[in-house]
Amino acid sequence: MYQQTKEEQEEIQQKFDNLLKSCSRSDKNDKEQITKAFKFANEAHKGIRRRSGEPYIFHPLAVAIIVTNELGLGTKSVISSLLHDIVEDTDYTIEDIEHLFNKRIATIVDGLTKLSNIFDTNTSIQAENFRKLILTLSDDVRVILIKLADRLHNMRTLSSMPANKQLKIAGETMFLYAPLAHRLGLYTIKTELEDLSLKYRQPEIFKEIKSKINNSEERRNFIINKFSLPIINKLTDQGFKFNINGRSKSIFSIWQKMQTKNIPFEEVYDQFAIRIIFDTEQGENEKTKCWNIYSIITDIYIPRPDRIRDWISKPKANGYEALHATVMGPTGQWVEVQIRSKRMDEIAERGYAAHWKYKGINSQETELDNWIKKIRELLENPQSDALEFLDEFKLNLFTSEIIVFTPKGQTIQLPKRITALDFAYDVHTEIGNHAIGAKVNHKLVSLNHVLKSGDQIEIITSEKQQTQREWIDFITTAKAKHAIKSAFKEERKKNILKGQKILNEKLKELKLHPTANIYRKLFSYYNTDNKNSLYNKIGLQNIEVKSLKKILTKKSKNKLIRYWQLQSTRSSNRKLIEKGKIQKSEGINVDKKKPLIISEDFEEKTYKIAKCCNPIPGDDIIGYQSDKSTIIIHKTNCPNAIKLNSSFANKIVKAKWTTHKALSFLARIKIDGFDKMGLVNKITDVIYKDLNVNMRAINFESHDGIFEGYIDLYVHNTTDLNNMIMNLIKIKGIDSVKRIEVSE
């Protein structure tokens, strides 16, 4: 136990007095509660010191000051900040907090306590803790805001930590906290977190850029003053009430630009920005005033047309509103000008807290509200995998947004690189499930078409359409992935129940009871390794039970055969690995003596189809076991497969298909013939209507009465493809139809 010195006690009291002064919105009763929380925390942390040697109470006080000064939060948040480490570091409980204060404060402190071990060494625990963190976002955003304040103070005092801890904490900050601050509109905190993270991850680079910024300060001030003076005079003459200042870009943003553009510090032309913050009277239109100021500036300086950023008509997803323009300054240098009202500036600096303060002024929900709703939707899925949620949430933190339009002109903000199918699922799950295509800017496109900002999208649906398994390969959003996987999980459940019923009825007909011996024979014969997989295949009609009697009465020539395809114990696996009979790679056990069974079971898929040759069921295939936990399937005659076979024979495994009736594979056919009126319609009718095959792309060209066409389509196997080719060749005017290689 450490005793506080008299000087430390005086400093603690001074810090607390500063905190009370900063709580200007708190009334007498609120300040009494804050004082009570401070005394309680100070007593609870008495004798405890931080690694820096200072009394521990310095930290909760610093977090509380950040919360009120830099985030603008109220009394409950200040009290919760003072108490945020009590439960984790002392013998007091959440129940004690609730008894001494109230339930809401206890809930916030509880949320903060649960977040203390987010970055655990165990990945799955880390992901689950992260999920709990985001759960608090949808419950009470103050938990996240206080946590960010806590992280900011820890980063400000990181120098007292050992070097390895500095790197770990700085890495975590860049991985999660800075993007989270950005998403919540906390620009100032996000910028400082990025700079501090760079300071500890790349100390030499940080020092060098900081030194160059300091050395160029005199010239920068000269440019700012020379640039600003004509604008100040014009705006004053026009009767505007405003402030104008020049701000240097952050060290991290300058370094980032140097990296992305591969240029030195001296060539980063926008090292600073001019910010104009204007006052508005009640009832004045902020948007109009922004454009009026823009008009005045561009009367003085020539604008760069490609660098206008209008975030007043459509704010950013984090609530940021401003009008940005880049103009040529008097010294021959491009200068960025940011125009915003006082309200916009407060939201830009204080983010979510200020956004909430002004919420009543604008009755419409902001994109930030919509984003939190989407996160809540993810969290409401009880079957959501924690690691998958972590990936999807990271995607939503880091991804830039695009704005697209519905057919009626409504705007929707979505991540970049989104597809038409993602858009369909964003509108409604049922629209996504029944989508067959889309019209983008009135032009027909496929569901995997990547959207661009400004596109207008109409989704085309059909009640006959069912969710396709290949969709999972190109959709990007968590909502779409969850909807598709849920559809297949539900379908699999139904098939398992259906298959179980069919099998039991057949066994009853044969006067047999389902025993372990019967299942072993069925597993061995049908290349399955558990009951659900067997039932699923029967339900999908991939397995006919007509010949069940013959299979069950047939004596096995080799009693040990079942061990290669049934579940085995860990000990037997280890023995087989030691003998070299089984090759193990990140959880996949492959028997070198038996072919790998390529199943279409969505839940148990451990392979990928090689994009260089796109084999389909019926093709002769081999598997290549890469360093990852997936086996890549090639055609045996694929040039890449031949090359792999010659170079990595030890990683090549035998493979064979089971019957595929649910999963579709990409194939390409080439059609030649004589150009005749209506021929293309006849071809597509045969493919789509008669054979019910989905086409992905179609391309026909005609020259001098001869046509040549290529069609990419999804088929179940080579038999289906050959039947289709035979049907197409019967069409009058077609000379030849053949399958050709397709690579993506």
Helices (H), 612-742: 639-647, 679-684, 718-729
Task: List the catalytic residue out of 8, 11, 30, 88.
Answer: 88
Helix, strand, coil shares, percent, the chain, to 5: 50, 15, 30
C-alpha distances out from residue 569 to 563, 578, 583, Å: 10, 15, 16
Q: Is 455 a catalytic residue?
A: no
* Residue linked to tokens 């003085």: 300
List the one residue out of 429, 410, 412 whose CA is nearest residue 475.
429
Distance (Å, whole) CA 568 – CA 590:
12
Q: Which structure tokens are listed for 722?
A: 């050959």
DSSP 8-state symbol, 598: E
Q: How far does Cα 469 stand from its chain's mean position?
A: 21
Q: Is 369 a catalytic residue?
A: no
DSSP 8-state symbol, 688: I
Q: Which structure tokens are listed for 551?
A: 């299979």
Q: Which structure tokens are listed for 75?
A: 């009394």
CB under 8 A, 24+ apart: contacts of 234-238: 234/296, 234/299, 234/300, 235/276, 235/293, 235/296, 238/292, 238/296
Q: For residue 622, what are the β-bridge partners?
A: 634, 654
List the one residue out of 81, 101, 78 whose CA is nearest residue 26.
78
Q: How far does Cα 476 stand from its chain's mean position?
A: 8
Residue 492 CB contacts under 8 Å (≥ 6 apart), including other chains = 536, 602, 603
Distance (Å, whole) CA 111 – CA 147:
10
Task: List the catalytic residue out of 8, 54, 89, 349.
Answer: 89
Distance (Å, whole) CA 651 – CA 648:
6
Q: Could you tell me if 207 and 245 are in contact, meaning their C-beta atoms sit under 8 angstroms apart? A: no
* Residues with a known catalytic role: 88-89
